[in-house]
Amino acid sequence: MLTSKLEMIVSDKTIDVFSGPTTVHYRWRSPSVILEFFLCLVFALSSAAPRSDGVELTSEPLRLMELHLDSAIERGLPIAWDAKQVKLLRVDGSIGEFDPNAIRRHQVLDQAFVPDSAIQMRGQLQREFGKRYSVEGGGNFAIVAPTETVRLWTQRFTQLDRSFQNYFSTRGFQLRPAEFPLVGIVFPSQKEFMQYALQTGSKLPTGTVGYYSIATNRLYLYEMRGNAEAEREALMTVWHEAAHQLAFNRGIHQRLSDPPRWMPEGLASIFEAPGMMSQRTTMDPADLINASRWGQWKKLAESPEKMASLLDSMIRDDRLFRSQPSDAYAIAWGVSLYLAERDTNDYMQYLRKLSKLSPGVDYPETARIRDFQSAFNTSSLMLVKSADRFLQGL
């Protein structure tokens, strides 16, 4: 007879997560507890589901854990706990990271882990940012912006949300529902944007116009006014970051996993193109071109062998994004767009495979190469040549 307790083994600790008529014991070889496991339990097991071995998993919800620190009390779901760090998933979707030595005591509460609703999130954001800002909801987003422009920004993000959904549904990739409202914060000026980033511990490169934080699960940007061309380029960056936010929350990536960087960056770069935000039912193929990447792609394409060598390096590791970022982003964009439009089934299957990468576990070079070659069954040289012919045809 099965016992009546599901136990989570965290390092050398055993923590009761929920009680119910059925208990399954999960014992982890790694000291870290995997985020995806908990998200599946919290959100996918909303009703008792029979299994092939006759065991029923209970629909009893996971319970909150309370950590008592030196200067604060934190509540959430533990998603990693080892000798070096403790990570707690909060009900607003943010992830807190703590030093285990700073935790004076912890306890499991008789309270279910339930993500904040859209209404709760909007109320919390209004209190956090005050009367200068308004908060509106659109699609999966909750947008914080100056009162006079909040409606415009909400419409923009709603359209991006719709475009993102349509892009993947028409290509056979079923996105999962977002577990948390996706927060976008629009500051009225660059000064306030940079001040907020500094206050919250984010060190931004000069020229940053927006960024998505995996830790807070929020998107941050500022309004750029007075220069139409600069505003257009800034919006391209914003849509890139918003695409990251959607991908990390709709099941394409996992927030604690380590996919090859060319894949998330290439995918997000696709959504910088003007056609991705079009409300028309038909699109001019030329509108798929990302102007900020196209010029560099054309330069690289003059030497296909060199370009293929750079792609090989990106498949192996992510160092090119640090040493030659303009080359890395251009190649990631062009290859991703070609695969998404002309090798759609294989590309979507590759995304599905990478979406199952174990959070907190390294993705070694050998596995990266093997999975890429298995997915596309072509040489890098043939791939960049085919991608260039496709892009030139647009």
Instruction: Check: CB of residue 394 under 8 Å from CB of residue 287.
Output: no
Domain membership of residue 354 (yes or no) is: no
Instruction: Check: CB of residue 261 under 8 Å from CB of residue 318.
Output: yes
According to DSSP, the residues that pair with 138 across neighbouring strands are 141
Q: How many helices (H) and strands (E) does the chain have?
A: 13, 15
Terminal-to-terminal C-alpha distance of the chain: 64
Last-in-domain residue among 62, 92, 112 = 112
Residues 15 and 134 in one domain: no
Residues 181 and 122 in one domain: yes
Domain membership of residue 352 (yes or no) is: no
Residue showing tokens 């919390």: 124
Domain membership of residue 62 (yes or no) is: yes
Q: How many structural domains are present in the chain? A: 3
Residues 268 and 385 in one domain: yes
Look at residue 24 in the predicted model and tell me its pLDDT.
Answer: 28
Domain enclosing residue 287, as ranges = 262-347+364-393
Burial label for 356, CB within 10 Å (0-12, 13-18, 19+), is exposed
Instruction: Check: CB of residue 61 under 8 Å from CB of residue 42.
Output: yes
305-295-333-183 Cα dihedral, nearest 10 degrees: 160
| pLDDT, one tens digit for every residue, the chain (394 residues) | 322 232 333 333 433 333 333 332 323 333 333 444 444 444 433 333 333 333 344 456 789 999 999 889 999 999 889 889 999 999 999 999 999 999 999 999 999 999 999 999 999 999 999 999 999 999 999 999 999 999 999 999 999 999 999 999 999 999 999 999 999 999 999 999 999 999 999 999 989 999 999 999 999 999 998 888 888 889 999 999 999 999 999 999 988 888 999 999 999 999 999 888 776 555 688 899 999 999 999 999 999 999 999 999 999 999 999 999 999 999 999 999 999 999 999 999 999 999 999 888 899 999 999 999 999 999 999 999 999 999 999 9
The CATH number of whichever domain residue 154 belongs to comes to 3.40.30.160
For residues 259 and 183, give the distance between their C-alpha atoms in angstroms, rounded to a whole number. Answer: 23
Domain membership of residue 35 (yes or no) is: yes
Residues 271 and 196 in one domain: no
Instruction: Count Cβ atoms below 10 Å from residue 343 Cβ, excluding itself.
Output: 20
Residues 237 and 270 in one domain: no
Residues 129 and 108 in one domain: no
Domain membership of residue 203 (yes or no) is: yes
Give this prediction's pTM: 0.85
Residues 132 and 155 in one domain: yes
Residue showing tokens 């929920």: 18
For residues 367 and 219, give the distance between their C-alpha atoms in angstroms, rounded to a whole number. Answer: 31
According to DSSP, the residues that pair with 135 across neighbouring strands are 144
Residues 290 and 385 in one domain: yes
Instruction: Check: CB of residue 167 under 8 Å from CB of residue 181.
Output: no
Last-in-domain residue among 112, 135, 153 = 112
Last-in-domain residue among 183, 218, 249 = 249
Phi, then psi, of 88 in degrees rounded to 5:
-125, 125
Residues 237 and 130 in one domain: yes
For residues 165 and 268, give the distance between their C-alpha atoms in angstroms, rounded to a whole number. Answer: 14
Domain membership of residue 42 (yes or no) is: yes
Domain membership of residue 341 (yes or no) is: yes
Look at residue 229 in the predicted model and tell me its pLDDT.
Answer: 87
Instruction: Check: CB of residue 88 under 8 Å from CB of residue 100.
Output: no
Residues 181 and 288 in one domain: no
Axis crossing angle, helix 344-355 with helix 262-270, rounded to the nearest 10: 130
Instruction: Check: CB of residue 70 under 8 Å from CB of residue 104.
Output: yes
Residues 274 and 288 in one domain: yes
Look at residue 62 in the predicted model and tell me its pLDDT.
Answer: 87
Look at residue 226 in the predicted model and tell me its pLDDT.
Answer: 81
Displacement of CA 229 from its chain's centroid (Å): 28
Instruction: Count Cβ atoms below 10 Å from residue 310 Cβ, excluding itself.
Output: 19
Q: H/E/C letters for each residue in 114-168?
A: CCCCHHHHHHHHHHHHCCCEEEEEECCEEEEEECCCHHHHHHHHHHHHHHHHHHH
For residue 154 the two structure tokens come to: 């909400």
The CATH number of whichever domain residue 18 belongs to comes to 2.30.30
Domain membership of residue 74 (yes or no) is: yes
Residues 79 and 44 in one domain: yes
